[in-house]
Chains A and B, each alone.
Chain A
């Protein structure tokens, strides 16, 4: 199956700093990538949809100036948490889709990045 990687797998940062998380599709080109956030014991919450070369579409309630998404190529999307605060501590997961191959878009998930803001 298709592989999606994330880097870093975990990060600890001080309050007020910015953190960049990378999401890569390793063996396929992804038309669309998605970013999710997950707090402990809760379900995944979709943050935004990202298409290569265009601006991301954010879900209601997600601050686009705080969570900057750049989808520079068909294999790489980045999420930057700007001026991180302790309440941004969470598990961030990306996913990527391959379009056109099947009757639906398979979605492949990365392993997640655990962000802890001190």
Chain B
């Protein structure tokens, strides 16, 4: 599986934007970039995904580098409820039954 690299932890102030980076230099042409997050004592939840173009949804935005070797998850206005571990994961669109292998993710701390 193509691997991703994320910082272990990040801090941000409440109500400010947060940019969570992810490097995936060995990404293949058929890999989608997915982001999940895990709030304390809960199962992971889907945040956003993309292939080549930048994506926006109600939770976040995903900025994908032109060469696709890195991406950034953007939380436009962080709240205390956004404190979680964020996982950047590559999923092969041609392998419909592929399992998700979680890396260590980035633990995001939000300061009030």
CB distance from B49 to the nearest CB of A (A): 8
Judge whether B103 and A112 touch: CB under 8 Å: no
Instruction: Flag B26-48 by CB within 8 Å of A: 1 or 0 each.
Output: 00000010000010011111100
Cα of A1 to Cα of B38 in the assembled complex, Å: 17
Contact status of A43 and B42, CB under 8 A, knowing A97-B97, A103-B93, A104-B32: no
Kindly report which residue of chain A lies nearest to residue B49, judged by CB atoms. A104
A residues near B38, Cβ cutoff 8 Å: 44
Interface 0/1 of A83-108, CB less than 8 Å to B: 00000000101010101000111111
User: Chain A residues near B99 (CB, 8 Å)?
Assistant: 34, 46, 49
Chain A proximity of B91: nearest CB distance (Å): 6
Return the CB mask of B63-99 against A: 1 if under 8 Å, else 0. Answer: 0000000000000000000000101000101001111
Contact A111 B43 (CB under 8 A): yes
Assign chain A's interface to a size class: 20 to 34
**What range describes how many residues of B lie at the interface?**
20 to 34
Task: Report Cα–Cα, A12/B24, bound state, in Å.
Answer: 40
Set of chain B residues within 8 Å of A4, measured between Cβ atoms: 43
How far, in whole Å, are A47 and B98 apart by their CA atoms in the complex? 14
> Is there a chain B Cβ closer than 8 Å to A67's Cβ?
no
Write 10 A-B pairs (CB below 8 A) sorted by A numbering. Answer: A1-B46, A36-B102, A45-B102, A46-B100, A95-B100, A99-B96, A103-B93, A104-B93, A106-B46, A112-B43
